[in-house]
Copies of this chain bind each other. A is one copy, B any other.
Amino acid sequence: MVSAADNEPQLTIKAHQGENPTIALDAMGGEAMPAAAIDGALRATAAGAKVLLVGDEKVLRAELAKRSGGAGSGLEIAHAGDVISMDDHAADVRRRRDSSVMVSMQLVKDGRAAAAVSLGHSGATMAAALLVLGRLKGVERPAILANVPTGDGFAALLDAGANTDAKPSYLQQFAVLGSAFVASVWGRQNPKVGLMSIGEEPHKGNELTRAAHELLAATPGINFHGNIEGRDVFTGVVDVIVTDGFTGNVILKLAEGEARALFSWVRQALQSDLRSRLGGLLAGPALRRIAQRVDPAEYGAQPLLGIDGYAFIGHGSADAVAVASAIRTATTALQAHALERTKEALAAVG
> Given the known A-B contacts A196-B250, A230-B253, are A282 and B287 also in contact in the complex, defined by CB atoms under 8 Å?
no
Question: Copies per complex?
Answer: 2
A264 partner residues in chain B, CB cutoff 8 A? 151
Q: In the complex the two chains form, is B232's CB within 8 Å of A257's CB?
A: yes
Q: Is the interface of A mostly helix, strand, loop or mixed?
A: helix
- Is A76 located at the chain interface by the 8 A CB criterion? no
- Is A278 located at the chain interface by the 8 A CB criterion? yes
A254-B247 Cα distance, complex, nearest whole Å: 11
- Is A71 located at the chain interface by the 8 A CB criterion? no
Q: In the complex the two chains form, is B279's CB within 8 Å of A256's CB?
A: no
- Is A137 located at the chain interface by the 8 A CB criterion? no
Interface size on A, residues (CB 8 A): 59
CB distance from A298 to the nearest CB of B (A): 15
> Given the known A-B contacts A198-B161, A265-B290, are A252 and B230 also in contact in the complex, defined by CB atoms under 8 Å?
yes
Q: In the complex the two chains form, is A289's CB within 8 Å of B269's CB?
A: yes
Q: In the complex the two chains form, is A270's CB within 8 Å of B257's CB?
A: no
Contacting residues of chain A (29-59) with chain B, CB-CB under 8 angstroms: none
A252 partner residues in chain B, CB cutoff 8 A? 230
- Is A261 located at the chain interface by the 8 A CB criterion? yes
> A234's contact among B196, B247, B261, by CB below 8 Å, is which?
B261
A230 partner residues in chain B, CB cutoff 8 A? 249-257
Q: In the complex the two chains form, is B257's CB within 8 Å of A234's CB?
A: yes
- Is A280 located at the chain interface by the 8 A CB criterion? yes
- Is A259 located at the chain interface by the 8 A CB criterion? yes
A231 partner residues in chain B, CB cutoff 8 A? 253-254, 256-257, 260
- 1/0 contact trace for A140-176 toward B, CB 8 Å? 0000000000110000000001001100000000000
A205 partner residues in chain B, CB cutoff 8 A? 164, 246
A264-B161 Cα distance, complex, nearest whole Å: 29
> A246's contact among B198, B289, B294, by CB below 8 Å, is which?
B198
A245-B199 Cα distance, complex, nearest whole Å: 12
A232 partner residues in chain B, CB cutoff 8 A? 257
CB distance from A278 to the nearest CB of B (A): 5
CB distance from A143 to the nearest CB of B (A): 14
A binding-site residues for B, Cβ under 8 Å: 150-151, 161, 164-165, 196, 198, 205-207, 209, 229-235, 244-247, 249-262, 264-266, 269-270, 272-273, 275-276, 278-287, 289-290, 293-294
- What are 28 contact pairs spanning A and B, CB under 8 A? A150-B261, A151-B261, A151-B264, A198-B249, A206-B246, A229-B250, A229-B257, A230-B249, A230-B250, A230-B251, A230-B252, A231-B254, A231-B260, A233-B254, A234-B257, A234-B261, A235-B257, A246-B247, A250-B251, A251-B254, A255-B258, A258-B258, A266-B266, A266-B290, A272-B286, A276-B283, A276-B285, A279-B284
With A230-B251, A270-B286, A279-B286 known, 13 other A-B pairs at CB within 8 A are: A164-B205, A165-B206, A165-B207, A198-B245, A206-B246, A230-B257, A231-B260, A233-B258, A235-B261, A265-B290, A273-B286, A276-B286, A279-B282
